[in-house]
Chain A
Amino acid sequence: MQLKPANGDLSALNAPAAPRAGALGELLYRDAPVAYAFIAPSVLLLLFLVAYPFVLSVWFAVSDARVGDTGDFIGLDNFVRLLGSSIFQQTLQNSLVFTAAALGAKTVFGMGLALLLFRVARFKRLIRGAVLLPFIVPTALSTLVWWWMFEPLYSVVNWTLKYMHIVDHDIPWLPDPYLAMFTVVLVNTWRGLPFFAITLLAGLVAIPRELYEAAEVDGASAFGRFWHVTIPLVKPVLGVVILFSAIFTLSDFNIVYVLTKGGPMNMTHLFATYSFALGLQSGEIGQGAAVSLFLFPILLAVVVVQLRQIRKATMYE
C-alpha cells in the first residue's frame, strides 16, 4: 500500500502532486479524471433508468400508445380528453384535498409533537423510537392493519365508539366517499407525522439557547418566545419538510391502493392510482402517462425552491 518512492528523493516531497508511476498512476493524482470515472456508473444508471423513461413518458403522453403498441403522435389529445373527463376532474380535486389536508395535519401535529419531544428528558430514546416507528414499517403492510381496523363488520374503531355509546350503529368508514377520504388522510398522517416531528425536532435543537434567555430577560411570555423566536428560526426547516412531504404526499400510491383502490366511486383516486388504473389495468398507456405527468409541475416547483435554498446556503458558508 505504500507507494512512496524508496530512493529518498527529497524533491518529491516538495511536489506532492508530481507523477509517481506511469500514465495511470498520474491520472489517479488528478481530480477531474477520477471524478468523471467515479460518477460515470451512477450517471449512466440514472440516464438510462430515470431520464430516458421520463422522456418516454412524455412521448406516451402525446401519443395513443396502448399495451404492445408504441402508438402515433396525437398532440395534446390525451390532456384535452383527461381535463374533460369527470373521473379525472374528481382525481384532481381529490389530490388537492388529500395533499392539503394531510400536509396541514402533519404540519400542525408534527410541530406539536416536536415541541413535546424537545422537552422530554426521561425515556428520551424510547419515546423517540416509538414515535418514529410508523415511518419505517413497510407502508403496504401497515396500511393492511388500518384496513382491518376500519373493516365494515369487525372494525375495532366502530366497536370502541359503540362501546363508549358515542354512536349506536356501524360507521361506514371505507364505503362512504367522504369518510374514505378522511381515512386515507388519517393513514397518510399516521405514516408521515414522524418525519415532520423528527426533522422539526432537529431544527428546534439547533436554535441557540441564548436567544430564549434573551427573550425571557426582555419579558417575553412563553407564547411570545414561541412566536418570535421558535417560529422564525424553525421556518427554513419547516419549509423544506413541507416541500419534501408535498411531493411524497401528492404522489402517494400505497395507502390509497391498499385501502380503497381509488374507490368508492373514484372519490379517493390520486394521480398515481388513477394513472395505474388507466395505464396498466385498462391498457391506456398514453392517458396513464399523461395523468402521472400532472405530478411534474409540483415536482419542478419544489426543485426550483430547493435549489435556490441550497445556493443561498452555500453563499453564506
Chain B
Amino acid sequence: MSSVTETRGFRSLFTLYLPLTPYILFALFPLYFMVVTSFKGNSELYDPTTVPFWIGRGVTLGHYNMLGEETLFWSWFANSLIVSIASTVISVVLAILAAYPLARLKFTGASTFGVAIFITYLVPPTLLFLPLSNVINWLGLSDSLWALIVTYPTFLVPFCTWLLMGYFRTVPKEIEECAMLDGCNRLQTMFLILLPVALPGVICAALFAFTLSWNEFLYALVFVSPAELKTMTVGIFSELIRGDIYYWGGLMAGACIGSLPIVVAYVFFLDYYVSGLTSGAVK
C-alpha cells in the first residue's frame, strides 16, 4: 500500500535486505531443519562427523513410514481434525450470534457483556486447566474428544466475538436500515445483508479458530489420556518420546505433517491471518 520507494536499488541492498536476512534466517531455519531431519536416514542423523544442514546420504521416507506403521499417528491426525472442525464450527456460530448485538444493537447491559467477553478473551488457559479438568470429570467427558470440543470454545468464542465485532462495525449501518425498511427482520438482515458483506471477517475468525484448536496442547494433554484418543500435538510429544529414547527422525516427520495443514491454510489466506493478528491490538 504505502511502501516507501526511495530505498530502491543498490543502497537498499545494504540498508534493508542485508539487515533483514538474519531475521528471516532466524524465523525459517528451525522449520527448514525440521524438514531436513525428517527426510534423513538414522545413520547420517546420528553421525557427528557429517554436515547437519543438508542430506548427504540420500533422502529417506523411513521416518514417515514408521509413523504410520508403528504409531497411532493417523488416529491423532484424525482426532485433531475432528476436534478442530467441531470446535471451530461451534465457536464461529456462537461468536457471530454474540458479536452482532454487541456491535449493532442498543440494549441494557451491552457494554457489560462486551467487557465480560473481553476479559474472558484475556484469561489464559493455564489459569483454568485444574478446575476445568474437575468440571470435565463431573460432566463425564474426560478421556473423550468431547472434552476438547466443549472446552476449546471457551477461548475461541471470546476471540472470534472480539474479531467479528470489529468487522461488523465496519459495515455501514445504512445497508441494514434499508433492508429493515424493506421489511426484513433482524435475523434476515443479519444473515442476508450483514454476513455476506462481513464474510472476510467470518473467514478470518474461522481460520484463527481452526489454527488455535489445531495447535492447542495443554487441554489436550490434561483432559485426554488414552493413546488412541490423543490429538496430534500431544500424541507426537508423549508417544514418540519413551523414557530416554528419542526418535528424532520420527518426531520431526510428525512435526512436519502436524504443521502442514496450518501452513497450507496460511499460504492461501496470508492476508486474513495478518488482519486477524493486528485487529486485536490496533484499533
Q: Given B4, B27, B134, B282, which contacts A190 in the complex, CB threshold below 8 Å?
A: B27
User: Is A227 an interface residue when CB atoms closer than 8 A count as contact?
Assistant: no
Chain B residues, CB < 8 A from A57: 127-128, 130-131
Let me know if B154 and A50 touch, CB within 8 A: yes
**Looking at the complex, which one of A50, A141, A272 makes contact with B259 (CB distance below 8 Å)?**
A141
Quick check: A42 and B183 within 8 Å, CB to CB?
Answer: no
- Beyond A241-B281, A251-B126, is A42–B94 a contact (Cβ under 8 Å)? yes
Chain A residues with CB below 8 A from B248, complex form = 148, 151, 154
User: Residue B280 contacts which of A34, A203, A244, A254 (CB distance < 8 angstroms)?
Assistant: A244
**B13 CB, min distance to chain A CBs, angstroms:** 11
B126 touches A134 (CB 8 A): no
Residues of A within 8 A of B175 (CB): none
Chain A nearest Cβ from B35, distance in angstroms:
9
Pairwise interchain contact A49-B132, C-beta atoms closer than 8 A: yes
Q: Which residues of A contact B (CB under 8 A)?
A: 1-5, 13, 16-17, 20, 25, 28-29, 31-32, 34-36, 38-39, 41-43, 45-46, 48-50, 52-54, 56-57, 60, 109, 112-113, 116-121, 124-125, 127-142, 144-146, 148-149, 151, 153-154, 156, 159, 190, 193-195, 198-199, 202-203, 205-206, 209, 237, 240-241, 244, 247-248, 251-254, 257-258, 271-272, 275-276, 279-280, 285, 288-289, 292-293, 295-296, 299, 302-303, 306-307, 310, 313
The contact sample of 12 A-B pairs, CB cut-off 8 A, is A34-B105, A49-B132, A53-B135, A116-B20, A119-B16, A127-B24, A132-B266, A137-B262, A144-B237, A285-B130, A296-B127, A299-B127
Beyond the given pairs A36-B101, A145-B31, A244-B281, 16 more chain A to chain B contacts, judged by CB atoms under 8 angstroms and listed by A's residue number, are: A5-B183, A20-B185, A32-B105, A43-B98, A56-B135, A127-B24, A133-B27, A134-B31, A136-B262, A136-B266, A137-B259, A141-B236, A194-B27, A253-B218, A257-B217, A292-B126
